[in-house]
Amino acid sequence: MRILITGGGTGGHLFPGIALAEEFQDRSPHNRIIFVGTRKGIEQRIIPSMGYELKTISSAGMLGKGMFQKFSGAVQCFIGIFQAMMIIRVFRPDLVLGTGGYVSSPVILAAYLLGIETAICEQNSIPGLSNRILARLAKKIFIAFEESSRFFPLHKTFLTGNPVRKKFLTRHSFHRKDRNRFCVFIIGGSQGAHSINKSMIEALNTLLPVKNKLEIIHQTGLQDFSWVKEEYEKQKFRATVSPFITEMASVYSDADLVISRAGALTLSELLIYGKPSVLIPYPFAAYNHQEVNAKSLADKGAAQIILNKENNGVNLGNTIIYLINHPQELKKMGIKAQELSRPEAAQIIVDHYCSSGTKGGE
């Protein structure tokens, strides 16, 4: 098969596409895959480094923009449709699969106009504008949360979970120097989250009674890295601070508790590793989908939520101390998270297009 995968801008849209590419290649080394993204997205850096071919087109987001930006975005998308049509005519794909982000729209539309089979993946509980529109054109829609099914035609919608890269599906044996310490992993996404970074540093005063029990791993993003690292050192907490962590799988494996935003990709990884979490949803996410994502897990007992407006050092510190002192509750959250995981998501989606000995989609 020839498969064209489009999606990007952020890791949450890009990495599910990479997970699907891995699965397609596992089915047959003769399957050929290319990605289509933009020059500005994270895909420009990630895709070539992973050995995949990347084509770029013009595209831009329009939701929440001013009038001029909306007009400029519409022009870029219009140009992007013709660029995508040229790529499709040359590559001649059997399938065009969109994993979200504004780059998906012109590519899926171009494929639809050229009569190529299309499919989209929706990672969040509330779909974005692009996928709401593209759902009318796509032949199949693969969703990660039951809650999003109400936005799509049921006859072509499949609940599969969010595709996760293979390295996250293998349990890592990662041993801390001191297994008696309680490991807290703080992650605010690939760019970091300033409000989480700030509240965690503010929480250190509250955490002084358990200081000797704690081991902290903190991904800050580039902008906050220096001052966050300096604060941990000043207060003499045992902390590994990084602007960006590439080997996330081993860190997830090591963590006793994860504090994070509620992006769909992060939640899928937390579930696969069976990790209890404190979720602090990004309040400005489109349609408030991060809060809905987080509530989906919390309602099932797999996570706790601190809303961004309630996120401060005292609340966060007390929550961490409570979970340290209630290991059975922490354990129940982890077990529930594991029960909700869908590690076979990429496999189920690819089963729709490639033969396999495994069971197909739901």
- CB pairs under 8 A, 24+ apart, for 176-182? 176/215, 176/254, 178/215, 180/213, 181/213, 181/214, 181/215, 181/238, 182/210, 182/213, 182/214, 182/215, 182/256, 182/257, 182/324
pLDDT category at 174 given cuts 50, 70, 90 is very low
As a whole number of angstroms, the distance between CA 223 and CA 315 comes to 24
Predicted pLDDT of residue 320: 98
What is the architecture of the domain spanning 182-340? 3-Layer(aba) Sandwich (3.40)
Predicted pLDDT of residue 249: 84
Give residue limits of the domains in the chain. 2-166+343-351, 182-340
Query: Does residue 173 carry a pLDDT above 60?
Result: no
Query: Does residue 199 carry a pLDDT above 80?
Result: yes
Average pLDDT in the 3-23 region?
92
66 vs 100, more confident: 100
Question: pLDDT (tens digit, 9 = 90+) per residue, 290-318?
Answer: 999 999 999 999 999 999 999 999 999 99
Q: Report phi then psi at 183, rounded to 5.
A: -95, 120
pLDDT category at 70 given cuts 50, 70, 90 is confident
Torsion angle defined by CA atoms of residues 286, 306, 269 and 187, in that order, rounded to the nearest 10 degrees: 90
- DSSP letter (8 states) at residue 75: H
Tokens standing for residue 301: 């007992």
SS3 call for 217? strand
How many other β-carbons are positioned within 10 Å of the β-carbon of residue 133?
15
- Judge if 2-166+343-351 and 182-340 fold alike in CATH terms: yes
Of these ranges, 142-151, 188-197, 247-256, the one predicted with the greatest mean pLDDT is 142-151
Tokens standing for residue 51: 């050995």
Per the prediction, the chain carries an average pLDDT of 90
Query: Does residue 169 carry a pLDDT above 60?
Result: yes
169 vs 263, more confident: 263
User: Contact at 8 Å (CB) between 347 and 23?
Assistant: yes
Predicted pLDDT of residue 115: 97
CATH superfamily placement of domain 2-166+343-351 = Glycogen Phosphorylase B; (3.40.50.2000)
DSSP of 120-161, one letter per residue? EEE-SSS--HHHHHHTTT-SEEEES-GGGGGGS-GGGEEE--
Q: The sheet that has 53-56: what strands, in order across it?
A: 53-56, 32-37, 2-6, 95-98, 117-122, 140-143, 157-159
As a whole number of angstroms, the distance between CA 308 and CA 283 comes to 6
Amino acid code (one letter) for 115:
G
Average pLDDT in the 169-182 region?
64
